[in-house]
């Protein structure tokens, strides 16, 4: 019995060191060498300052910016609290919030139906993308605020539209951070 206990303790210690320390260090080291940008969160830097990440959404609320999907992650886009709201489709709280968000969005552009991704959050609550329909819905507001033509803005949105991966996976999407950064560079908000 004593021999079995010693073997069990040694096995626990060795596997803890191997799989709890050595393996994570090896994988992290390889990722840093082979894919440093991805291993560090695909951070976006402008003028020596980190302004966001390509893979984690952030809130844009000013009228001259394209707005992101809603976030259910903590107080908004908190990667440590990644989750959906876990509210079912018949939950009164969810229905009331969505109705309010639809009314607010419709006031901005009443001639077009509100795209679903502007009033619902993704499963992780961290989605950095919106659909082309969500971008199209916001074009009149952003063009008006930035004093540029809707046609020019549509061309910029088209430039930042990512198609389905391998032509079949996912849906067409637009990274809101990258689009808004390009807008700041090419068409600053009029003062």
* Lookup: tokens for 129: 């993308």
Which residues are CB-neighbours of 24 under 8 A, at least 6 positions away?
Answer: none
Q: Is 65 helix (H, G, I), strand (E, B) or coil?
A: coil
pLDDT, tens digit (0-9, with 9 covering 90-100), for 118-140: 888 877 778 889 999 999 999 99
Work out the angle at residue 139's Cα, subtended by the Cα atoms of residues 134 and 140, and round it to the nearest 5 degrees: 125
Crossing angle between the packed helical segments 132-146 and 150-159, to the nearest 10 degrees: 140
pLDDT, tens digit (0-9, with 9 covering 90-100), for 8-41: 999 999 999 999 999 999 999 999 999 887 888 7
Longest dimension (CA), the chain: 81
pLDDT, tens digit (0-9, with 9 covering 90-100), for 79-88: 777 777 778 8
What's the pTM? 0.78
* Lookup: tokens for 182: 């390009």
Ramachandran angles phi, psi of 57, nearest 5°: -65, 165
């Amino acid at each position: 019995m004593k021999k079995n206990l010693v073997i069990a303790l040694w096995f626990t210690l060795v596997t803890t060191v191997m799989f709890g320390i050595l393996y994570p260090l090896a994988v992290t080291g390889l990722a840093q060498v082979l894919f440093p940008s991805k291993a560090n969160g695909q951070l976006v830097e402008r003028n020596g300052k980190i302004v966001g990440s390509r893979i984690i959404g952030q809130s844009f609320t000013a009228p001259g910016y394209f707005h992101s999907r809603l976030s259910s992650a903590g107080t908004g886009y908190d990667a440590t609290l990644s989750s959906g709201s876990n509210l079912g489709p018949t939950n009164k709280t969810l229905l009331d919030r969505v109705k309010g968000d639809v009314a607010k969005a419709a006031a901005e552009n009443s001639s077009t139906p509100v795209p679903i991704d502007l009033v619902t959050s993704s499963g992780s609550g961290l989605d950095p993308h919106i659909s082309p329909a969500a971008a199209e819905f916001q074009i009149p507001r952003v063009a008006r605020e930035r004093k540029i033509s809707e046609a020019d803005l549509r061309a910029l949105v088209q430039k930042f539209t990512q198609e389905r991966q391998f032509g079949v996976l996912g849906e067409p999407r637009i990274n809101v951070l990258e689009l808004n950064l390009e807008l700041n560079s090419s068409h600053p908000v009029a003062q």
